[in-house]
Amino acid sequence: MSWVTELARPEIVALQAYEHAAWEPSLERLHANELPWRAHGDESRAGLNRYPEPQPRALIERLAALYDAAPESILAGRGSDEAIDLLVRAFCRAGRDAAARIQGAHLVTVPLRADAGFALDERAVLERCSADVKVVFLCSPNNPTGNLLDEPAIVRIAGELAGRALVVVDEAYLEFASTQSLARHLAKLPHLAILRTLSKAHGLAGARCGTVIADPEVIALLRKVIPPYAIAQLTLEAVLKLLEPPQLAEVAKRIALIRAERERLTAALAALPQVVRVWPSAANFVLTEFTDAGAALARARDARLLVRDARGHPGLARALRITIGSIEQHVGLLD
Confidence of residue 297 (pLDDT cuts 50, 70, 90): very high
Q: What are phi and psi of 34, to 5 degrees?
A: -100, 155
Residues 6+ apart with CB under 8 A from 201: 173, 175, 176, 251, 254, 255, 258, 284
The pLDDT value recorded for residue 292 is: 97
Is the per-residue pLDDT at 102 higher than 60? Answer: no
**Angstrom distance (rounded) from CA 257 to CA 246:** 17
How far apart CA 194 and CA 208 sit, in angstroms, is: 17
Kindly provide the b/e burial profile for residues 300-316, where b requires at least 16 CB atoms within 10 angstroms of the residue's own CB. beeeebebebbeebeeb
Q: What is the pLDDT of residue 17?
A: 78
Answer whether residue 230 shows pLDDT above 70.
Answer: yes
**Tens digits of per-residue pLDDT, 129-187?**
999 899 999 999 999 999 999 999 999 999 999 999 999 999 999 999 999 999 999 99
**308 near 325, Cβ under 8 Å?**
no
Q: How far is CA 258 from CA 129, 281, 284, in A?
A: 37, 12, 7
Higher pLDDT, 119 or 105: 119
Distances (CA, A) of 79 to 82, 86, 99, 142, 216: 6, 11, 19, 17, 19
Query: Given CA atoms 288, 290, 293, 296 in this order, what sign does their dihedral have?
Result: negative
Strands 275-278 and 210-213: unpaired
**What mean pLDDT comes out for the span 294-311?**
95
Percent of the chain exceeding pLDDT 70 equals 96
Convert the pLDDT of each residue in 44-82 to its tens digit: 999 999 999 999 999 999 999 999 999 999 999 999 999
Confidence band for 101, pLDDT divided at 50, 70 and 90: low
Residues in the chain: 335
pLDDT of residue 23: 77
pTM, whole model, 2 decimals?
Answer: 0.94
Whole-number pLDDT of residue 104: 63
| Res 28: pLDDT | 87
What are the angstrom distances between the C-alpha of 143 and each of 21, 95, 112, 252, 284? Answer: 40, 28, 11, 22, 10
